[in-house]
Chain A
């Protein structure tokens, strides 16, 4: 019996470590894959790419809403040490500007409420008055706008030209 104690202990330790590692790293892994996928679909670094009207044929992420339009910006603050400035143009229906870190946390959401919104995002450990410090270097910024009809979508396409996501 004694000769099995070592192998059983090794088995148990590796089981716990593997379990914890997978659960801990899964969000980062999936987020990294999503960022790679966005890059392959021509979503620029520090620039918004408007997603086509959401349909079964155009969807690229799970559980997207067909009633909303999305614009995505990838950020990498290691390549923008002075931060990035994000602007969401005014829209007269629901709109929001949301920021997700490398572990999928939604660390900031700014609602439009009919007004233009602007946020300056700084690298982790930086500081600046009126700016938001990101929890991680990389992440995704998403603009959502309610546009359940073709007319509303056409309106979003027009005003989204004034959205911006730029390195400082």
Chain B
């Protein structure tokens, strides 16, 4: 009878536990990472009595969680991939929006600017037309600034997000380490795995896998060791390392990620932090944002350098040579924080003649103690450079003859005395160019619409021709100038150059005795009709600067011997001359970028295509990864998560068993009463 009572009571308690476990399951229906728990029953040891074995009821063996380690790991893997894709696409979409906004985009501003240049070409003497050109130039500059600012805002946002993510990773690491300690203690003390703590840790690990890629290795004492990215340890047993955000070794405003381990100091791990929101942010920066800013800067640099170059070849309404229309950006140079000194070479600039070869890449300028080299940071291509070997003639890195590589002009003369072996510099030619370009000219009269030089046949006092042949010299323009300082308001030639035909050659002469190369040009009417010629004129005077200009013109017709033409500085009020404005307007469709394959707007199109193709791919990836993540979670949840119907059924089941056990106790009671009555 006492058996009956004991069996009934223990069964009652067993089912109470089962019912409470079911309630626990129902209560945790919405708890992330919760694994439903099962009570496992076992039969009690039988008792030998009267020559046979009697059962003594049941007991609870353990409470298990429905768990499959492989499926949980799959969820982590897909969470890493999905969060990376999601973060990446979220940022990429913003860049795509900025670049594809037809009103705020760059293309429309480039078009309006060149429309305004054409307006000046149509009516060069009109002050309003010139004013419109200056205003449109300012609008173009504003557009560069606007797009670059928007991109910069996104860069700032990504930086803040990275800092937040790093802080979250650190907190997760600490919490996981703490749980490791708790789990290991509980397991060691009882020999039973603490299900709810394991679930909590799995939930934290899943959350962590959304921040950065993780590998989890569980040891014998149930501690989870966590490695990030490409194998950097975050949690080892009960201790956790931490990440921090530190200034980049070259550019202090750029942030690197550093892993700090107790007793081991810090290691830069920026490029190793793959996967998750952190990896997505890093990949976005390197794939889309930084390239887009460099692309934009490349266009700003090309527009300002090539437009200025042409503008300087014209003459303005004040009869002065054209100055810079735009303020040109300057490549940024940073010294490595470990360099011997923090001096940077001062003369790193765009190479006007090679501007078409300007890339969108960054470069490392390195000194090994003997020689220099320039390494493209994106392609890895190395250009060896030698200092001072050219004797000041060939490019040798001196101020006089700087190295010319990829549209850059580099001199290290000013630092060559202080630089140490192993020193290196980061050159960012275009990263900030879109921010730095500015409108320089403010006065409408300063637009150099006219050709700086002009030509005329020799005339008499009344302006009538004196030549007797039909020879013609026209299409004259200044094609190169050096040594002309606009501050000194010098004119390109400073003298009239006379071309006199002697029947075979044009002989060139200068009143002031300037050097003309070549001094004669052979011209035969029949064979050379329409030939183009270029002569170089220098004044031979070293002060203030040795002035040297190239004048290009066209020869045609049949000149008679003795006929002459005069090349002159076009400073006699040629207010209606649009020669240089036409050349400026033509820049719009010239292939002045990417090695002579792309116009400004082609480059803009390439930038947009590049960013939007990557965004498009990111969208597809993000969608696909989300589906895969959902599937992985479903598979896990199908094993681990709570099903209410199932719990309802369990509830009924255990309730009935509980009631039956109660009946066992009441039966025992009835039996006892019956016995008492018999006795009593």
Do A and B interact?
no
Chain A residues at the B interface, C-beta cutoff of 8 Å: none
On B, residues with C-beta under 8 Å from A are: none
